[in-house]
Each structure stands twice: as C-alpha cells, then as structure tokens.
Amino acid sequence: MKLKKQVTVCGAAIFCVAVFSLYLMLDRVQHDPARQQSGGNFPRDCQFALGSKGQSPDLQMLAVYSLLPFDNQDGGVWKQGFDITYEPNEWDTEPLQVFVVPHSHNDPGWIKTFDKYYYDQTQHILNSMVLKMQEDPRRRFIWSEISFFSKWWDNISAQKRAAVRRLVGNGQLEMVTGGWVMPDEANSHYFAMIDQLIEGHQWLEKNIGVTPRSGWAVDPFGYSSTMPYLLKRSNLTGMLIQRVHYAIKKHFAATQNLEFMWRQTWDTDSSTDIFCHMMPFYSYDVPHTCGPDPKICCQFDFKRLPGGRINCPWKVPPRAITDANVAERAQLLLDQYRKKSKLYRSKVLLVPLGDDFRYDKPQEWDAQFLNYQRIFDFLNSQPNLHVQAQFGTLSDYFDALYKKVGIVPGMKPPGFPVLSGDFFSYADREDHYWTGYYTSRPFYKSLDRVLEAHLRGAEILFSLALAHARRAGAEGKYPLSDYALLSNARRNLGLFQHHDAITGTAKEAVAVDYGVRLLHSLMNLKHIIINAAHYLVLGDKDTYHHDPAAPFLSTDDTRPSQDSLPERTVVKLDISPRFLVVFNPLEQERLSVVRVLVNSPHVRVLSEEGQPLPAQLSTRWGSATDTVPDVYQVSVLARLPALGLRVLQLHKSFDSHSMLQSSVRLYLPGHDLPVRRQEPVPVRVLPASTEDICLENQHLRACFSARSGLLQSIRRAGEEREQRVNSEFLVYGTRTSKDKSGAYLFLPDGEAKPYAPKDSPVVRVTEGPLFSEVASYYQHVQTVVRLYNVPGVEGLSLDVSCLVDIRDHINKELALRFSTDIESEDTFFTDLNGFQIQPRRYQRKLPLQANFYPMPTMAYIQDTQNRLTLHTAQALGVSSLSSGQLEVILDRRLMQDDNRGLGQGLKDNKRTRNRFRILLERRTTASKAQDGRPISFPSLLSHITSMHLNTEALVMPVAQEKPAPLALRSFMPLSTALPCDFHILNLRMLQAEQDESLPSAEAALILHRKGFDCSLEAKNLGFNCTTSQGKLALGSLFQGLELGSLQPTSLTLMYPLGTASNSTNIHLDPMEIATFRIRLG
Ligand SMILES: [Zn+2]
C-alpha cells in the first residue's frame, strides 16, 4: 500500500495565524458575495457563451474534417486534385475576366537576415518597380511587407516618393494587408498581430496616404480565424489565403467553395463576415497559379526563359511570345485559365504572377510584362474567345467580382457560402504536416511573449506618465526620446511575427539577428518602464529630474546575451532601507507573491506606509543540491493596483520573527551528492522515497511521486474524489526513411517512448507558508511545480516551470504528457492567438502528427464534470492523443533539413524555460448537447490565470546610490475597477504629425471584451471586479486625468467610426475588440 505523506503548505500553526490575519487585512474583497462570479450581472453576461439561435454556417471546418477521407488519390496533372473539363461555349454569354496579379514575396528574414535581403534584393525590386511601372499604365503590382517598404522609403529621393504616391493613387500599385510583416498565424499572439498591423497601417497613412482594402497571405503555414476578424475590424473587405491542407483545397475546389464569407464561430449574425479567396493549388509560384497543370503554367513564367538562372523542372521551357506563336501560346494559357475558373463561382479569375523575391532586375520586369501584354492583346482581340485579360491588383480582382455579382465591397455576394473555423493543421503533400513549427525554437517563442508583455506595459505606462507630466506642465523635463525606443520595439516585435521568425524556421544566423533585436528592445522597454515609473511614483513631482546616466530605478533582471535566460537582480541590503517599485501591468488588481533576491537572510518587508507584509524566506538554488551563497529569495505577498505601481520597503532586520521561514527536504536517489545548505533555511536530506508528496492550500491539494517528483493528482477542496493528473516526459524520434522531421515538419517514428534518463532525479520539496513547491532534476529537464497559499487567482492553479536542455539529443523531441480520468474522448480545445478557443477532434484517419495544433496560450480537455486547462506562457505544439490526455512538445532537436527551402536542421537549441499553469475546474451546468457545438470559451478564472502567467509583475529596486526619497507614493491610475471581462489590450501613444520620433497628444486605447463560459464553478475567486454587460464609463476611468476627446475608430485607426460624441460611456459586445482615439491630460 502506498502511504501518502501530506505536507500542508501552512505547516506550522504559528505562521498560519500570522498569515491568515494578514489575509483578512489584504483580502477584503473576496468575502463580498456580490463580487462572486455567481452574483451581480453575471447571469446576463453568461448568456453569450450559451449561444443564441444564429444561423449555422454552410461550411464548418470541424465538420469538414470529419467528412473528408484524406485519401490522397492521384489527380493526374493536378496531382492533388482532379481532372477539370469544360464546354467551349460556357463563356459565350458572359466572358471570362482574367486578372493577372504580379507580386513578389519578400520574407523579412529567412535564409538571409532582414537587412541582407533588403540590400541584396528588396531595394532593387522596389527601385525597378518604380521605373518599370511608369513605362505602361496598364501594369500592376502589389506589395505587402511594410517593414521592407518603409526601410526603402527612408532611402529614396523625394522625386521617387512622389512617383510611388502617383502609382498608388492611380491604382497601379496596391498595398495589400499593409502589416509590418505577413505574420505567422499559429504562434503569434493577437496583441502582436494587431500591433504590427497598426504599425504598418499608421506608416502607410502617414507616408503614402493610403488605406489597404484587401488582405494577402500566401505563405503562412496554416490560417487562423483571428486574422479575418482583425482584417474585418480594420475595414478590409476581402482577403486571400494559400497554404491550406491539400485535401481541403481539393474538396472546396470540387464544390466551388474556394471563395466564401469567413465568419467567426461566435458571431450569430454576419457582422464579422469577410470575403475570402482560397488559392486552389500547391503553391503561390507561377507553375501553380495559372491553372491545374504546372508543366504548362511554368511555360508562362518568363523569368525561366532559356539562358536564365532558373528553368522549369517539368522540362518544357517557356518561349518568348512572338507574332508567330502568340495564337498557340494564348490558347494554351486560356485553357488553363478556363479550367481554373471552373473551380470558382464567378466568371472573374485571379491569376497571381510571382514568387519569392521576384522582379529584382529590370530584365525580369520586361520579360514578364511584355510577354504577358502580348498574350492579353491577342486574347482581347479575339471576340470568339470570350475572354478579357489584363494585369490587375488584388482589389481590382475583388472589385470586378463584386461588380459582377452586383454587390458593394463588404457585402455577402449572393450564392457564396459562409464558413467558420480555421485552417490548421497544414499539410502540403502526403503526410507532411507542418506541425513541428508550433514548437521549433521555443526559446525565442518564450522571449517573444516576454517582449510583448514588456511592450504593452511600457506603452501603457509611458502614455500615463506623459499625460500626467503634460498636465503638470512637466513635459519638458520628461525623456520624450523614449518614444523613439518604443517605436523601435514595436517594429522589432512586429518583425518577429513574420512567418519565418516566431515560427523558428529561419537559418541559425537569422535567428540570432532576431534574438539580438528582441533583446535590444527588451532592454529599451525596461528603461521606458523605469523612466515612467520614476515620474509616477514621485510624491512631489517638482523634484523630478531625469538623469539618463543614473536611472532612478534599476531593472528586475538582466540577460547577458540574446540566447541566455534572465538573471535576476540581487538587492543589496544596507542600514538604510531599500525601496522597491512593483509594476502590475494587468488592468485588474492582483494579490500576488512578488519575489526579490536579497544578499542577507535578515530582512523585513514593509508596505509604503510602514506596515509589515507577510514574506517567506527561501534559499536560492544553483543546482539540485547546491545553494547560491549569500543570495536569498524573499517572497512577499502584496496587493498590486491595476496598471499601478506599488512601493515596498526592504529593511535589514535581525528580528527573527519578521520573516516566515521555509524548509527543504531533499530526496537523493542512491548516489551521494554533496549538499550545500544555507542558514537559516533548514534542509533535510532523505533517501528516495516511495511515499507520495502532497502540497495543499485552502483550494486544492496536489500530490506527486516522491521518486519521480512529477505531478500525479489534484484534489479540489471539499471534494471526495481526487483527479488523476499523471505527468510524464516522453520522447519522439524521427523516421529512418528519407523524409524526416525538421524545422517545419513533424514526422515522428511512431508513438512517443517514455523518457529514460541515465539517473533518477533529485527531488527537492520546499515547504513554506506563502508557497510550497516540488522540484525534480532530470538530465534534460528540471521541473518546478509550485502551489501558492494565497487567496484568489494565484492559489487556484499550479504553477509549472520546465527548464529544458536537450542540446545533446539527436533527432528527438521532448514531450510532457498529462493523463487524467477526464472522459474527453476525441475532443480537445486549443486557443487561436490567445484570442479565441477552437475545438479540435482527434482524427484517427490521420497520422499522429496531423493531430497536433498550435497552443499560443492554452489548451483544455473536459467532460461533463471537469475541465483541465494547461495555460502556457509561450507558443508550443499540443495534442490529445487519447481520451483524458493532454500533451505538449517542449523542445525539438533535429539534425536535418525537411526540404522546404531552409537547408538546415534545427540544432541551435538553448536552455529554455517553458512556463505553464494547470487549472482544474469543476463544471456545473455542462451538457453533452452544449459540448457538441463547435465553440467554447474559457472561464473568467481561466482568462485571468492566463493573464497572470503571461504578464508578470515587474520588480524595480530604487537604485542604491539614490538617497531614499521621503515621498514615494504608490500609483493607482484607475479610479474604478474595470469589468472583469474587459482587457486593455493597449494604450498606444500615437506619432507626432511632424516628427515621427516624438509622441503626439493622442493615444489609441484598444479594448477587448472577453467571451467567457459561466458553467464552471467559481467560488472565492478573489476578483475585485464584476461584469457590466459590456458597459464602461471611460470618462472617469483614469484617475487624475481628463479624457479630452474620444473617437471610436477602426481597429488600426484608419477610419473614424461615427462622429465623436460627447458621451464617454462605451459599449462592447463579447469577443469584440475596439479602438478609440483618445486625448488624455
Ligand atoms: Zn515567406
């Protein structure tokens, strides 16, 4: 029989008394029943997740997946499709209208760095574009990456700029999407997706005076339904996608469903609909865009004319168009156009003409544009052919289609289907699923999220500090140069959203280039936060003086290089007290354990007013058994105001009762290891044990195997039954065949095998009054599972950290799997971009790797009783391979290229810390019927847990050299608590009209109202908020500041929505994101 040794977090009674009396003081709110989730306005706000009687879409992607056989039959010349036939007289009454759209796909970093691509290729493409487009007004071109375009713009003459504006103005050049990059849609977070879209759109508006109308995304490896929502809310009316699973393309082609209105799953009318064109064939290059036969289409890529550097792999070269061959050539091409047209409902046809980094030489422009013009001239001169062919932009195509079906842009064309769902996971051929990149280079995926949190925090705090400084007439003293750093950080984060950056699919040197940019911006953002915090916490603003050489505050951590983990700052204690300023970037007050490293165990933590705060002292471990000399961790329980700054004091104190002690038990597996202890934290060394270890707080009890140190079960307080949550590490290998896993592809050699390390782990249990944790040290991974003994959000879930180091692995992927008794069957849920939840179904007819999905912020499984959510602080690949399981890939090391152009394996692994939160919730009113719907929402607790995980409090010590100022005051920017379901996505200061390195008087306030599910039990959540049916009074929200103006705009500020009204009360529907142009002061 297994003995269970229970360790309550609140081990010693005396500490409990001390801690709980402090709780009573700290946690007033949670005993207010009106603030519980079941009270207030919640019932009405709960209706949303239950759904209403909205019409179901014609195409629901989950259902499409269930329907398709995925049999990959040979389709002939169109290998992944079918034979297309037509009657020659089909266009007699309504001619075929063909738009050939020249494009050049420019990756902002992939094989080369962003700068190298710019110097080697992109600048030449854009220079010859200006030249060659002016030669013939019938020529057209589209451009999408503003990162490149703006760099070029900075380097060209006023004359050339004027020419570009003319080309845009007369419709020859169209800016499509207009984002900073063409973002990855699997790993990117909606904060960053929106931010790079704003950055691009703001640049376009300012410099060219144009607003994009159509979206163009030919290369992202699968498509999220978040993107159509963002484009729609930016007032775009059409969009195009390309990399969709070949079996779905075939099915949609056969049913003429390649064009549809893409609708959000939660949308019950049609307010989120946007027209979407899906390209039908294998690729966006010329051989796969003119029609079904690549052997023929390739002959119409005139860059491949004989004598050039590239040719046609189908062995029939293009021929220059002459009077002698034009009739035959045009007929051959028209046959392809007609066949392609049969896959669509309208008689307007889109034919993209381009490829990666195309049109970089004037000769190529001539070859393509002159030869195609000859073909068009011929086709258009033959009335019997019933075709009208021309160059066009993407919007030329959409406009012609809308005109033909008799609608205005933005409306639903009659007879076209409505689709909801997304296009993950992507396979381009056979069983080659692009599911590896959900995890590739997790180090940078994690760094990306850290940068995002800092950017958001810096934006908000900079905007608030500047507004307060302006109001006090102190703008002249404020470091306005921070705005340029902020702007640069937006652009570096934006660049990293590119579909070869955050995906982990660039060359090693390019990954380093991205890493350096991210690190550089992270440091700058910390300085912006420090400068803003300095101003905001000063009691007497007249004493404010910014000295760039001696910052008032220092940073919470440092990173020695772009690929190293952060090293936390150690605060040196002295006779005079040290002050800390803690920034809470969340828009909700939080009761959190704030951790600080100090150089002495003799320490006391006081509030700003001098009240002692509960704090736990623990040692700092450098390895499994070795403490870091003279460094101690102080964990303080502090209530942090929403978006605010809390001032804390650290005093040196020899009063032994001032600090709550923790104790440590070390389980050593057989072998002798030297143990270094550090007074006064007691350490007991024990042999490996067969007993379980349990941690418990007032909400839950988590038990671990003492031998493995891994989580086994969770039991919620007041419940008889414990839920098995058995965690284990597993390893996937790669196949022995030619096709192996690489940066993009996941091609495992079968099911995962248990991870079998050489040695058993050292297991270290720390028990204390504020938190307890179980750490296990394996050769390739160190896990720490922590339970906070804190009322409210922090204590309701388990905090999990996995420090992964697989640099000595060869062709292996390390996975973490949780096995439970939850009867989830084949269904699991993953988020899209942290914005929405997409239900998934494990498809047995598909290979294992096809069942992995991106997990940017969370995944869960559920039955009618329970829901288990894995929250994550970095994007990773996830699946549920059997009922009750949830599995995440932590890192992958692959020695070879996977033949998608990268030409490299994935061998530059770093020590990476993956962070999670495990939340077990009880479902109260779930029903099978409800669960059968293709829609799901997290609970409010889950949303807030995710925000806690992704937005850590920042601890900034007041620099030691500074004499402690007498009047540091905590800063509380909000006068009232925001409704629980409102999220301030950003408060983004806009650029000054004249000088782009300076801020204007206006900011963009971007709000998101989250959709949530009330059918999960929510007792004592400790939220200091309620919901308000979407109402928010903005006028009085910011304490001490006046809202000078409030103008609702489209998402990226391009279009005002309605007129600015005098009312500052706003309303948001659930799930909606809204942008307001505001003036604070
Ligand atoms: Zn690309």
Average pLDDT over residues 256-273: 95
The residue among 146 and 681 whose pLDDT is bigger is: 146
**What pLDDT is attached to residue 966?**
64
For the stretch 243-264, pLDDT in tens is: 999 999 999 999 999 999 999 9
Rounded CA gap, 514 and 523, in Å?
Answer: 14
Rounded CA gap, 972 and 672, in Å?
Answer: 53
Give the active site residue among 45, 195, 219, 428: 219
| Ligand 1 centroid, distance to 280 Cα (angstroms) | 18
Q: Picking from 291-300, 658-667, 1047-1056, which range would have the lowest pLDDT averaged per residue?
A: 658-667
User: What does the chain come to in residues?
Assistant: 1081
Residue 16 pLDDT > 60:
no
Average pLDDT over residues 60-67: 96
The strand pair at 578-583 and 570-571 is best described as: unpaired
**What pLDDT is attached to residue 454?**
98
Rounded CA gap, 1026 and 589, in Å?
Answer: 12
For the stretch 708-755, pLDDT in tens is: 999 999 999 989 999 999 999 999 999 999 999 999 999 999 999 999
Q: Picking from 366-380, 457-471, 867-881, 1015-1029, which range would have the lowest pLDDT averaged per residue?
A: 1015-1029
| Ligand 1 centroid, distance to 220 Cα (angstroms) | 7
| Ligand 1 centroid, distance to 510 Cα (angstroms) | 14
Rounded CA gap, 751 and 778, in Å?
Answer: 22
For the stretch 942-966, pLDDT in tens is: 999 999 999 999 999 998 766 655 6
Written as one string, the DSSP assignment of 674-692 is --B-BTTB-EEEEE--SSE
| Ligand 1 centroid, distance to 741 Cα (angstroms) | 20
Structure confidence at residue 864 as a pLDDT band (50, 70, 90): very high
**What pLDDT is attached to residue 201?**
98
Structure confidence at residue 924 as a pLDDT band (50, 70, 90): confident
Q: Which of 609, 460, 607, 471 is nearest to 973 (CA)?
A: 460
Q: Which of 160, 195, 162 is nearest to 179 (CA)?
A: 195
The amino acid occupying position 162 is A
**What percent of the chain shows pLDDT beyond 70?**
95
For the stretch 360-418, pLDDT in tens is: 999 999 999 999 999 999 999 999 999 999 999 999 999 999 999 999 999 999 999 99
Residue 891 phi/psi, 5-degree rounding, is: -160, 160
Rounded CA gap, 266 and 585, in Å?
Answer: 28
Average pLDDT over residues 32-58: 62
Q: Which of 321, 228, 452 is nearest to 952 (CA)?
A: 452
Pair of tokens at residue 920: 């077990």
Q: Is the pTM of this model over 0.75?
A: yes
For the stretch 82-93, pLDDT in tens is: 999 999 999 999
Residue 117: CB atoms within 10 Å: 21
Residue 1004 pLDDT > 80:
yes
Rounded CA gap, 63 and 141, in Å?
Answer: 38
| Ligand 1 centroid, distance to 245 Cα (angstroms) | 17
For the stretch 326-336, pLDDT in tens is: 999 999 999 99
- Report yes or no: 502 and 187 within 8 Å, Cβ to Cβ: yes
- Report yes or no: 482 and 462 within 8 Å, Cβ to Cβ: yes
Ordered alpha helix ranges (H), 574-715: none
Strand, helix or coil for residue 287: helix
For the stretch 97-120, pLDDT in tens is: 999 999 999 999 999 999 999 999
Q: Is 993 exposed, middle or buried (0-12, 13-18, 19+ CB in 10 A)?
A: exposed
Residue 782: CB atoms within 10 Å: 23
Q: What average pLDDT is seen over the chain?
A: 93
**What pLDDT is attached to residue 556?**
86
**What pLDDT is attached to residue 960?**
73
For the stretch 530-586, pLDDT in tens is: 999 999 999 999 989 999 999 999 998 999 999 999 999 999 998 889 999 999 999
Average pLDDT over residues 645-652: 95
Q: Which residues contact 754 (CB under 8 A, 6 or more apart)?
A: 728, 729, 730, 731
Average pLDDT over residues 819-842: 98
Rounded CA gap, 221 and 284, in Å?
Answer: 13
**Own/partner long-range contacts of 777-781 (Cβ < 8 Å, ≥24 apart):** 777/623, 777/624, 777/709, 778/729, 780/755, 780/804, 780/805, 780/806, 780/808, 780/809, 780/814, 781/729, 781/755, 781/805, 781/814, 781/890
Average pLDDT over residues 801-809: 98
- Report yes or no: 101 and 351 within 8 Å, Cβ to Cβ: yes
| Ligand 1 centroid, distance to 314 Cα (angstroms) | 24
Active site includes 891? no
Integer CA distances (angstroms), 365 to 140, 393, 403, 662, in order = 11, 16, 30, 72
Q: Which residues contact 56 (CB under 8 A, 6 or more apart)?
A: none
Q: Which of 587, 677, 603 is nearest to 635 (CA)?
A: 603
| Ligand 1 centroid, distance to 511 Cα (angstroms) | 15
Residue 859 pLDDT > 50:
yes
Q: At what angle do helices 362-380 and 326-341 cross, to 10 degrees?
A: 80
Peptide bond into 425 cis (omega under 30): yes
Rounded CA gap, 796 and 786, in Å?
Answer: 11
